[in-house]
Structure 1
Amino acid sequence: MRGPDGKKTAGIEDTVRDFWADRPVRPRTGTKLGGVSAALGNRYGIDPVLVRVAFVVGTFYGGAGIVLYLLGWLLLPREGTGRPGESRSHTTSGPMLVLLVLLLIPALFAVTDLAGLFGLILGGLALYLLHRHYRDRTPRDRTPAPGSPAQVEQPTGGENNTWVYPGADRDSAGYSTAAETERTSPPSWDPLGAAPFAWDLPEPGEQHQPEPEPPRAQRRSVTLVTLGLALSAGGISMASGMSPADAVAIGVGVLGTGMVVGAFLHGGRGLIGFAVPAAVLAMLLSVLPIDPWRGFTSQQVRPDTIGAVRGNYTGSVGNIELHLDDLRFAEGQDLGTRAHIGLGNISVHLPPDVDATVRCSTDMGAVDCLGEQREGRQPRVETTDFGADGPGGGTITLDLTAGTGNVEVFRG
C-alpha cells in the first residue's frame, strides 16, 4: 500500500510490530504513578497531561482507562538507572508484575459490558494511530547518535570554549589532537582574516537586519479541548445510566458548540470529521429497537406468589416468558406488571379464571392477545377478558410491548 506521496506505507501488522520493538520507556523522573503517561508523551512528543486526561476520560467507559493504564504499566519497560554495565531499560520487576496482574484481573471483569469494550477499542485505535503517524519522532530522553544529522558539531575544548581551526586532525573518538592550533581570543594582527573570529564580522557599513519571525503554527487547542469535553460528556452520560442514543447526542451537542466557538477563533475545522459520523450514529441508535447496554436476556419467570411478581421486565434482545397460571387470586386482589423487549418475543400465561385487562403492541411483528390477532407494522390489541367463571375474583393488568417481534397472551 502506497500513500499520496508514492511512498510505501506500513500495514497494520508492520505498525504493531514496530511499536512493540520501539515501545515507549517509562521514565524514572517526571511521573505521577507508573510513568505510562510520561512514557507516551516523551516518545511521541506530546504533553503528558493530555495523555493523563485521556486515561481519566477512559475510566467513564466501563473502566477502560484503568485497564489500559495497567496494561501500559505491565508491558512498557522501565528506564534504567544509568549505572555502568546496566541496560538502558528493563522489564517490570517480579513483585510489581504479580501486583499488576492481581489488579488487572478484577479490572478486566469490570469492562465486560459494551461500554467498556468500546473504550478499550477506542484506546487501542488511538495508540495505533499515534504510533503510525508519529513513530519517527525522536524521544525526548534519547540523545542523537554520533554522526547523525541531529548531532550538530559544536566547539570542542575545555572550560574556555577553545576554538579549533579548520583542517586540524581528530582522533577516532572525535577529540582534537595535540597538533591542533588552539586560541581563546583572536590574534592582534590578522591581515588575511585567518582567525575564525573574524569570519562572521559584518562588512563596514552593513547593518544587521532582524530575521523575519517564523509563521506561527496553527492552533489546534479548540479541536483537542472540544474532543476531550465531548468524550467526557458521553462517558459521564453512559455512566449515569443514560441510553447510548442520548449519550452520543450529548457528545454531538458538545462538538457543535466547539465548532461555533472555533468559527470565532479561526480553528476547530477538524471537528467536522467527528461530528458527522457521531450525528449519524446518534440517529441510528435512536431508531433501532435494540439497546445494547441492556444486553441479551432469556427470562423465564415462574412466581409462586403475587408478591413475587415484579412491576417491570425489560430486555434488549431475547425472550421474556411470564408463567402466571399457577397464581391464585383472592376476591378483589389486583396485580399489574409491564414487559418490554427490543428484539424478540414476549409470552404470558394467565390463570383460567382471573379477570384480565391486556394491552399488546409491537412496532414490527405480530400480536396474539387472548385470541385477538394482529400482524404487520405497529399492530396493537387492547382487550378485557373475565375468564371462564365470568366477572369476579382477582384482577390482572398487563402492558406488553416489543420493538421487533411477537407478543402473546394465553390462558392456562
Structure 2
Amino acid sequence: MSSTKHAGAAAAFEDTLRDFWATRPVRPRIGGKVGGVSAAIGRRYGIDPVLVRVAFVLAAIYGGAGVVLYLLGWLLFPKEGEPVPGNPSPKPEPTSSTLAVILVVLLIPGVFWLTSTPSIIGLAAGLGVLYLVHRTYGERNVAPPPTPAPAPSANPAATPVDENTWVYPGSGTTAAAEAQSPPKWDPLGAAPFAWDLPEPAEPEQPEPRRPRRRWITWTTLVLAAFAGGLTSSLGAPLAIALAIALGVLGLGLIAGSFLHGGRGLIAAAVPLAAVAMLASALPSSTFTGRIGDYTIVPTRTVELDPNYELSAGTVTLDLRDLKLAPDENVTTSANVGVGDVTVLLPPNVDVTAGCKTGLGDVQCLNAMSSGGAADQTATDYGADGLGGGHVSLDLQVGVGSVEVSRG
C-alpha cells in the first residue's frame, strides 16, 4: 500500500511538471519591466505582477536566490509572438540565441554565488512556491486549442419562392423545394446567403470586481510587529528582529498573491528590507544610544579607556603625547555606528591596527580600501624600528570612515 501511494505521488508530481512546461508562462511584449518574467507569471496564474516582483526582490536580498530564479525564468519562458493580421494569438517565440548565451554567462557566477544556507533555502522555496502556484492555479489562463476554420458553404445564395421558402441553385429542387426558416438574427430574410453562419454568441458579462481584502495587510502588519518585538525582547540583535518581521511580511505577500490582497504590505516590506540590510552591516554599538563628537588626548595609559562606543558621531584618539615604557603594551578599541574614527600616533611607537567599515573608507596607515565591507590590518614599527612600546587598535565603523596615521 505504501509503495503504491508513493508511486502515485511521484506520478502526480511528474504530471504537474510536464503540464507546467507545456503551459509555462509567456513573457509579454508589452507590460514587462525587465525581461517580463514577473508579468508572465502574473498573467499566467492571475496573480498581481507587483507582488511577484516584490517576491523576487526579497529573495534577491536574502542570499541572491531571486536573481538566479529571475534569470532562469528569462531563459526558459518563451516570448510572446509578433501579432500578425488574421492571427490574434501567434505562437510564442523561444529566447533568442544571443540573449540565451548572455543569460547563461550571467547564471554561471550566480549559481556559484548560492553557497550559503539562506541562498539555498531561498532557491528551494522559490521553486516550491512556483510548483504550488501551478498546481493550484494551473487551469487559469490556458490558451485554448486552435479551432479549425469553418468549411465554406456548399450552398450559394438562395432565391425566395415565398416568404418562408428558399431555393438553392444547383440543388435540383423546384417549386416544391425544401423550406428553410430565417434564423433569429434575420427574421425578415434579408440575408439568406449568410444563414449557414453560426448564431452570434451572447456578449460576455464583465467579470465581477473582487472585493478588497484589506484584513490581510493589517493582520500581517500586526503579526510582523509582534514577531519582531518578541524576538527583540528575548535579547536577539536588532538585525535578527527585523529579519524575522520581514519574513512575516514575506509570508503575508505570498498569502496575498493567492487571496488577491495584501498589496499594502509592499510599502512596509521595501523600507523594512533596507533597514534590515543596514542593521546587519552595523556593529552592535550602533544601538547604544550615545551620540556626539569625542576627542581623547591621553598622556598616560591610565587615561586611555579599553573601549569607546557611539551610535553616531566621531571618535578622535590623539595618542601623540602618550608616554609608553619600552616594553609596555596598551590595547584600545573604538566602535561607531554611523560616523568616523580617527587615530593619531606618535612617530616611534609600534602599532598593530585592525580597521573595518561596513560601508565607507579605510586608511589604516599605508593600507587603504573603500566601499562595502572595507577591512584592513596593518603593523608598523615606526621610524626607529622595533621597540619603544606597542599599541594595539581595533577600530570598527558601520557607515563612515576609519583613519590611522602618525602625527
TM band (smaller chain): 0.3 to 0.5
How high is the TM-score relative to the length of structure 1? 0.39
